[in-house]
Amino acid sequence: MATIETRAERMILNMGPHHPSMHGVLRLIVTLDGENVVDCEPVLGYLHRSMEKIAENRTVVQYLPYVTRWDYLATMFTEAITVNAPEKLADVPVPKRASYIRMIMLELSRVASHLLWLGTFVADIGAQTPFFYVFREREMIYDLFEAATGMRMMHNYFRVGGVAADLPYGWVDKCEDFCQYFLPKVDEYERLITNNPIFRRRVEGIGTITRDEAIAWGLSGPMLRGSGVQWDLRRVDRYECYDELDWEVQWETAGDCLARYFVRVREMRESTKMVLQCLRQMPGGPYENLEAQRIAGGPKSEWNGAEYQFISKKPSPTFKVPKGEHYVRVEAPKGELGVYLIGEDSVFPWRWKIRPPGFINLQVLPQLVRGMKIADIMAILGSVDIIMGEVDR
């Protein structure tokens, strides 16, 4: 039974936590057979900061500055879920104007997140230049955030029952200008990237997830929609005022990296259109800053009414999380961002379990890269779109 062993010895390569394309501090232990990936094991936890434990002795307002450090590229969503969870548990109504402001901020944040994803994804495949183009547009979104919230990344803008401050005078015009400027820019990216034959060959048919697999792995966001599932929490859960807008769920059926690219690029367009609609439909009149109007109008001003009361006026330092438990989720750019909240009628939550989309989506990585080449790891990892801040929390 003597057989000749011709198999070469396998190489175990430790990629990360310090590696140019590991998106922060992800560590992959990759088993290689030449250039082929035999196995891959992600090692997490290098950015673990006890975000869930910290939440257990912070009030909601105290905790808000922490949450933007989960997914630091889609910061508005982490704030949204942090206020949504207690809001829903305590049944706090959100005034319509505040809800519209939230939607605008969320969609702008989604665009910013997808823009940065586009830059890093294409850079992972080797094209460095689009990174600078997406930063040009992302910069403008951050300028808008800065004008409205005072901070570019760590906004601390959402509050239980509303938002921290009304939009400043002229902001709506600036935002509309940006949207009009941005839509042609998305076409520009598409012209630059989509039909590039090298790009196509690097992403087409790479990292394919079937519809059933995607559901079984619990994937969400563009990962799920790229595999042919029309699942968007904005449609499914009907939170905020998304029902009042005219928009489509973007989805693809191929399930490969290219499909996920298409979904995200189209979502950028869709989100921009949603922002434009929000700006036009915003109640309370889009152009004025209500706070100034309210003070000018005196106590009898209509802006003192219940419909506008939570905009910038009533933060909630002693807001009590009522007894009870529930799960709240929003559609973040990376997928379903959820919080499982257990309250015990105290200012602190008893348990604050975060369901980060990146963490769940990352689980499928070893299966996707098995049998591929080394270079495909970067393409697939890029298309999963992880942020280690929220994966490790």
Indicate whether 375 belongs to the interface with other proteins (CB under 8 A): yes
Cis peptide before 42 (omega within 30 of 0): no
Identify which of residues 53 and 136 has a Cβ nearer to other proteins in the complex: 136
Does position 28 bind other proteins by CB under 8 A?
A: no
Instruction: Classify residue 301 by burial, with Cβ atoms within 10 Å: 0-12, 13-18, 19+.
Output: middle
Residues 153-172 that bind other proteins (CB under 8 A): none
Nearer to other proteins, 42 or 335 (CB): 42
Site string for other proteins, 278-307 (x = CB under 8 A): ------------------------------
Applying CB under 8 A, which of residues 96, 235, 269, 373 lies at the interface with other proteins?
A: 373
The site map against other proteins for 81-120 (x = CB under 8 A) is ----------------------------------------
Side chain identity at residue 64, one-letter code: L
- In whole angstroms, give the CA distance from residue 386 to residue 336: 13
Smallest gap from residue 67 Cβ to other proteins (A): 30
Helix (H, G, I), strand (E, B) or coil at 221: coil
DSSP one-letter string for 318-333: TPPBPSEEEEEEEEET
| Site membership for other proteins, residue 127 (CB under 8 A) | yes
Our finding on whether 181 is near other proteins (CB under 8 A) is: no
Find the DSSP H helices in the chain.
51-55, 60-67, 75-90, 96-125, 129-149, 171-193, 197-203, 211-216, 222-225, 233-236, 257-281, 290-297, 357-362, 365-369, 374-384, 388-392
Q: What's the CA gap between 317 and 315, in Å, rounded?
A: 6
124 binds other proteins (CB under 8 A): yes
Q: For other proteins, which stretch binds (CB under 8 A), given 289-297, 322-330, 359-367, 375-383? A: 375-383
Binding footprint of other proteins on the chain (CB under 8 A)? 11, 13-14, 19-21, 32, 35, 122-129, 131-133, 136, 196, 198-199, 201-202, 373-378
